[in-house]
Every structure is written in structure tokens, then in C-alpha cells.
Amino acid sequence: GAKKIVDNLLQKNKLDAITGLTMGPACSIDVIYGDKWGEVSLTAPAAMSGYPHISVPCGKVYDLPIGLSFFSGAYREGEIIAMAFAFEQATKHREKPGFKKAFLA
């Protein structure tokens, strides 16, 4: 299953972790045509395998926040937390939450 695929990927490529966008940017609300969500997500492999996953802020797209995911194999929680913390400290992408002005698209 998913655990075997992730384990093989990590071992074959000598990886400590897998990283990538958590998801694409948040969609704009469209009451007529429906919301348009992106297709990018790194949460599914971690969820399907049951392996540890963490997401930290990594910037903005169209002024909307995006996250960077780190996940790895079984019992690697401490390692991915350390990686995520190091990334967060090095990049300083974390911001105080707030509300944006509404706009019509």
C-alpha cells in the first residue's frame, strides 16, 4: 500500500524527507460558477500512509498564503519538525493573520 510506496521512494532516492507545496493557494469565492480549487496537494500521500506530516508558511501566490509540507517515514516526527522549524526560521514567512478587503472579480 501507501506505506510501501513511500518507504521505497525514500530508500531508493536516499531521502530524509519529501517536501513540496501543501496545497495551491486558496481559491476565490465565485457564487455563480463555484469555487475553483487547485489540484496540487502533498497531504494525500502522508494521510494515506499514516506517516508524519507538517506544513509551515512559505510565501504567497496572488497575495494569498501557501504552505510547504514536510513528510517522511514512520517515527521520523522529530526530524521533520526540526526541518520545518529550520525552514521557518530561515525564511521568516510567518505573518500575523488578518482579513483582506473584499473585492468583486
Q: pTM for the complete prediction?
A: 0.77
pLDDT in tens, 35-94: 766 666 788 889 999 999 999 999 988 778 889 999 999 999 999 999 999 999 999 888
Instruction: Give yes or no for residue 28 having a pLDDT over 90.
Output: no
Sign of the CA dihedral 23, 54, 101, 32?
Answer: positive
The reported pLDDT for the residue numbered 65 is 84
Residue 70: helix, strand or coil by DSSP?
strand
Tell me if 101 is assigned to some domain: no
User: What DSSP letter does each residue of 8-38 carry, written as one string?
Assistant: HHHHHTT-S-EEEESB-PPPPP-TTT-----
Tell me if 103 is assigned to some domain: no
Tell me if 102 is assigned to some domain: no
| Region 16-24 average pLDDT | 90
The reported pLDDT for the residue numbered 38 is 61
Tell me if 43 is assigned to some domain: yes
Tell me if 100 is assigned to some domain: no
Structural domain for 74, as ranges: 2-91
Total domains in the chain come to 1
Q: Are 53 and 79 in contact (CB under 8 A)?
A: no
Tell me if 61 is assigned to some domain: yes
